[in-house]
Structure 1
Amino acid sequence: MTLSPLEIGLGLLVLVLLAGIVMLVVQGRHRANLRSKFGPEYSRTVEAVGSPRRAEAELQEREKRVASFSIRPLSPQQVDMFTDGWMRVQTQFVDDPQGAVSRADVLLTEVMEVRGYPIADFERRSADLSVDHPQVVQNYRSAHDISIRHARERRTRRICGRR
């Protein structure tokens, strides 16, 4: 049986359409997996970079980068030490909320460093943290912003001579 050029063309068209459908399904699943894994961080990243495709590339790059880290669990002694530090931060909050927020920010940076996360700058830290803790990183960013705002206010008060 010989196929006519029209039949061959239609067959190729069907194959191209099937390949396109498979590609769309795979992309849709991949997007759904990233949305599920990163939660609100997915939406924040889309907004920050301007498109879902670029956001997904960014999130995948984060995953690759974090996979190369040597993340280690805390020892029982380190857990006790950081738990004590966290308790002190919480008790400090009543008398000095600004200082407590700043100390909490420092404490979290220390925990990340001990666990093996690079701590070069806040944006990189929060991006790296989002891979394993996407639900928490939003609060981390908010607390860090508060800490920065309070530090600026303290500097402004000192410069202006107010307490």
Structure 2
Amino acid sequence: MTIIVIVAAVILLAALAAGLLRGGRGRGRGRGLRRRFGPEYDLALARHEGDAKAAEKELTERLRRHGDVKIQPLTGESRERYVASWNGVQEEFVDAPARAVADAESLLAQLVRDRGYPADPYDEQVAALSVHHAYSVRGYRQVHAAAGRAREGRAATEELREAVVGARGLFDELIDERPRGRSHASDRHRTGVPWAGARGRHEATKGGTP
């Protein structure tokens, strides 16, 4: 009986140790995913109603599908063309906000494809971008949603402006090949005319001052 009790205790302790080890690995994997995906982790968690295991499974699957995307370089000429086009979108916003948002979405979608991300569908583009640009992919969702509402005549001018501003964060990263999560606030001059200038001219047309 003593031997049986000892053997049972050893088996129980081994099972407990294995469970603790698996739990530790799971927590470590969760922390790694949270660090990598940042706000995307929180979005996945909300989408799965707080189920961390389901959220982490989704994010792990995104990594499996898109972690090895081969990012294509842009030529200097191509980069300059994109920058000029984006500046044109900002100027266009002064007189035609809805059209400017549609053009911003189209331009960003083309840039996403040129950098080597999935050509379509939109959901796959977002999933791939979330792996490599987790802190700025929200801008792509924002401009996509705003453009859709603008086509239906349901978007206010301020919403459209915020969508273009949000999309610019991802645009800057894709153009400058900067690492994910880097701040863009101090680097707006890199894409030419600052947004504040375009907004200032918009206010001036309404009798305000830049």
- TM-score range normalised by the length of the shorter chain: 0.7 to 0.9
The 3-state SS of whatever aligns with 2:94 is: helix
Corresponding position of 2:98: 98
Whichever residue aligns with residue 72 of structure 2, its letter is R
Task: Name whichever structure is richer in helix by fraction.
Answer: 1
CA displacement, residues 23-54 of structure 1 (integer Å, 9 cap, x when unaligned): 11111011111111111111111222342222
**TM-score under structure 1 length normalisation:** 0.86
How many matched pairs?
Answer: 152
Q: 1: distance between equivalents of 2:118 and 2:35?
A: 25
CA displacement, residues 115-146 of structure 1 (integer Å, 9 cap, x when unaligned): 11112122221111100001111122112111
**Per chain length, whose mean CA-contact separation is higher, i.e. which structure has more relative contact order (CA < 8 Å, sep 6+)?**
1
Whichever residue aligns with residue 71 of structure 2, its letter is I
Whichever residue aligns with residue 104 of structure 1, its letter is A
CA apart distance, 1:69: 3.1
Whichever residue aligns with residue 136 of structure 2, its letter is V
The Cα RMSD (Å) is 1.6
Note if contact 2:89-2:104 (Cα within 8 Å) is conserved in structure 1. Answer: yes
Note if contact 2:34-2:41 (Cα within 8 Å) is conserved in structure 1. Answer: yes
- More displaced 10-residue stretch of structure 1: 69-78 or 91-100: 69-78
Percent identity between matched residues is: 32
CA apart distance, 1:67: 3.0
1:8 aligns with 2:45: no
The 3-state SS of whatever aligns with 2:74 is: coil
1:118 aligns with 2:121: no
Q: 1: distance between equivalents of 2:85 and 2:139?
A: 19
Corresponding position of 2:147: 147
Whichever residue aligns with residue 118 of structure 2, its letter is P
Corresponding position of 1:84: 84
Any gaps of 5 or more consecutive residues in structure 2? Answer: 155-210
Corresponding position of 2:46: 47
CA apart distance, 1:84: 1.1
Q: 2: distance between equivalents of 1:55 and 1:142?
A: 22
Q: 1: distance between equivalents of 2:41 and 2:145?
A: 20
Any gaps of 5 or more consecutive residues in structure 1? Answer: 155-163
Q: 2: distance between equivalents of 1:25 and 1:90?
A: 49
Q: 2: distance between equivalents of 1:151 and 1:121?
A: 20
